[in-house]
Chain A
Amino acid sequence: MDLKSKSSHKQYNVAFVGNPNAGKTTLFNSITGSRQKVGNYAGVTVEKVYADVILGQLDVRISDVPGLYSLEPVSADESVAVSVIQSEVDLIVCIIDASNLERNLYLFSQISQLKVPMVVAVTMVDRLAGKGNELDIVALSEELGCPVVAVVGHKEEGIANLRQEIETGLLSLVVPSCEIHSVGIENLRMRLARIGYDVSPEGLSLELQKSEPGFVKYFSEFPELKEDYLKAQESLTGLTVADRFAWAKRVQDRCLSVSGQRKGLSITDKVDRILTHRFFGLIVFTAVMYTVFLSIYSLSQPFMSLIETLFAWMGSKAGLLLSRNELIQSFVVDGIIAGVGGVVVFLPQILILFFFAFLEGTGYLSRAAFLMDRLLGWCGLNGRAFIPLLSSFACAIPGIMAARVMPDAKSRLATILVAPLMSCSARLPVYMLLIGAFIEPKFGAFWAGTALFGMHLLGLMVAIPVVFILNRGILKGKRLPFVLELPPYQLPKWKDVLIALTTRAKVFLTTAGTTILVMSILIWAAGYFPRLPESQKANMEPKLVQQAQLEHSALGRFGKIIEPVFMPLGFDWRISTAIICAFPARETVVPSMGILFSLGSGAKVNELREQLQKAKLPNEKPLFTPWTAVGMMVFFALCAQCFSTLATVRRETGSRKWAYFMFVYMTALAYIGAFVVQLLGKALGN
């Protein structure tokens, strides 16, 4: 490419705007394929999905703006979408759902006033045909004053046509010429016409701005004229919601021919009879949720252990290869390979969760939210929070990602912030270790089971007041009324699911992955340096060398320094260090405890349990009482010990602030929780 053509090269910006559920994403996927990139709009929780394509001769960046019901922004998400539409675009593709014409035209009526070139893409035309209705595309194009293309996104019908119209639109830059009149002014105009006073709508608007319009002289003769005049004056300030809907209704009546009312219930109504039934609906819901949870929880296990084995194998191979230099060996094996492995291991759970995103496309998730809204509504969340919270019991990372189904920024943030309080599968090894060592032998299997159940319940119980407080004081933004569309059921669109799956996996690995890798290398370095002098290592058993090295390292010293902080909880420096080691990933606590209690990182759980039972404080009292064990479990249940989660929060909220906030509040809760347990233990005489 020579310099001249490079300088004249322009990238056009095109935005896909439309109501939620209008088929916008399917259409976006059809046009852009899998070339999508994901970013964040600065400072807000709104995600920017875009793709660069070539249309004819033009280089075009197409953005998929989040679904909107209105251009008058109430929530933060909407403000972003609106400012994008207003400032950055050369052309807007407005997606209109043919089966829901009136409400979709409402949004169009607002967009058309921005005076930006537009193309309208009408979706779900096939659904109209199913009802026996027909849409007159030519008439619609006349009414809207811009090109209209009928498309069936998943069947690629009309896609070539749409690409052509976008290209033409970008070259001609014609803005839509669509006239929407206020009902008040129109009524007045019609009444004036009846008494023989003819005036155009524009002429009347101008006349209304005068202090004394020309028709005032008729007021005495036709008193009702004055009433219409006053009403018309009110609407001079701008179109009301009712004005726009009146226009939308008129356009619909002209363009949509309703041939025959179908008798009986639609398929959606029939399916809904079961799926939102007061008894069967709840049973189906439970079954679906159980399947989702179980899949994330256990279907992922073989894949996760495969990944773990693979990385362990890579670690041992690399260890052998690099055995000449201990520092490089440890850096590669314990720093890089363990760090990357710690990220990749979450991939199966994320993929399984996003596989279940197909439920959203079918319309079932809206029904699930409809069923559950009452249950979640009273603490300030809404029915849609169910999936994110449930997924978090398996792993908070897919749970936090699932919070994107929340309709507004405030409830989404509240859901994200409490999701990691749900007891995830990585906490299980700690519970198993401690319950097996201190609850089961003393109190039997029943109390062991109760303790395990209690630990899972704890997070949920704590989450309720946390959401309540977040909503009252901390999260800003107006509370919007809860509106949830119940669209007709659809078959899942596997192509959309596949694109979402690969995009999400890519985003997780690149954005969250890099943060996690850096953090795990830092923690590795803290545990590795400074080195124990060789002279001290000489006569030690290898297991004890590991312990002595950790004690000697920055991490171990730090554990000892902050021992007084953890003392009130009944934790000594070893537990404190184990807790510090577990901040990057809580599942590492068992191997770290192995090292700290002189068994080495590969310690068997049973040996470790015995060792813990024997462990003593400096004053010869046992380190662990059942209360200390419960305290430590409570600490792990409430603490934000997972870099991957924090990195995901940072990515999903688009700011570090909420990741820090989560870390601080959860760690504080964990400390308080464990302290309360310790106090209870003291009060009840240990």
Chain B
Amino acid sequence: MITSFGDLKKGMCGTIVTAPSDSDHSKRLQEMGFVPGTEIRIVKVAPLGDPMEVDLRGYRLCVRKQEMSGFEVEVLS
């Protein structure tokens, strides 16, 4: 199942399949490690519903749902 990153829920794991094509915005996120093929896990969503904490490449990063919406993830069940 392929989903937009912003729609992922707490505890979901998956692999990034597409990153938005070149913009500074997307490039910055890719440079944080969100490139196709990267495994990610949603650790937690902040109490107010946004942002979310992601586990990737052995570290934890907090990103906003809306700013990640262009990234697509193949969700592992």
Candidate in A72, A276, A483 with the most chain B CB atoms within 10 angstroms: A483
Pair A103/B67 contact, Cβ less than 8 Å:
no
User: In this assembly, does A134 line the interface, its C-beta being within 8 Å of a C-beta of chain B?
Assistant: no
Pair A485/B60 contact, Cβ less than 8 Å:
yes
Pair B48/A374 contact, Cβ less than 8 Å:
yes
Pair A374/B58 contact, Cβ less than 8 Å:
no
Provide the residues of chain B in CB contact with A72, threshold 8 Å: 27, 31
Q: Which of A55-92 contact B (CB under 8 A)?
A: 69-70, 72, 74
Pair B47/A482 contact, Cβ less than 8 Å:
no
User: In this assembly, does B61 line the interface, its C-beta being within 8 Å of a C-beta of chain A?
Assistant: yes
Provide the residues of chain A in CB contact with B50, threshold 8 Å: 373-374, 377
Q: Which of A106, A370, A478 contacts B46 (CB 8 A)?
A: A370
A72 to B32, CA, bound (A): 12
Pair A482/B63 contact, Cβ less than 8 Å:
yes
> Of A94-102, A309-317, A397-405, which binds chain B?
A94-102
Pair B30/A241 contact, Cβ less than 8 Å:
yes
Overall SS of chain A's interface: helix
Q: Which of B43-70 contact A (CB under 8 A)?
A: 44, 46-51, 53, 57-64, 67-68
Pair A278/B47 contact, Cβ less than 8 Å:
yes
**What distance in Å separates the Cβ of B32 from its nearest Cβ neighbour in chain A?**
5
Pair A69/B32 contact, Cβ less than 8 Å:
yes
Pair A481/B25 contact, Cβ less than 8 Å:
yes
Q: Closest chain B residue to A478 by CB distance?
A: B24
**What distance in Å separates the Cβ of B68 from its nearest Cβ neighbour in chain A?**
8
Q: List the interface of chain B (C-beta within 8 A of A).
A: 24-25, 27-33, 35-38, 44, 46-51, 53, 57-64, 67-68
Q: List the interface of chain A (C-beta within 8 A of B).
A: 69-70, 72, 74, 99-103, 106, 241-242, 245, 272, 276-279, 281-282, 366, 369-371, 373-375, 377, 383, 478, 480-487
Between-chain CB contacts (< 8 Å), 23 pairs: A70-B31, A72-B31, A74-B28, A102-B33, A103-B32, A106-B31, A241-B31, A242-B36, A245-B35, A245-B57, A277-B47, A279-B47, A370-B53, A373-B51, A377-B64, A383-B51, A481-B25, A481-B28, A481-B29, A481-B67, A482-B63, A484-B63, A485-B61
- Beyond the given A276-B47, A373-B64, A483-B29, please list 7 additional residue pairs across the A-B interface where CB-CB is below 8 A: A101-B58, A103-B57, A366-B62, A373-B46, A373-B50, A481-B63, A483-B61
* Leading 9 A-B pairs by shortest Cβ distance: A374-B48, A278-B47, A486-B60, A484-B62, A481-B67, A242-B35, A241-B30, A102-B57, A70-B31
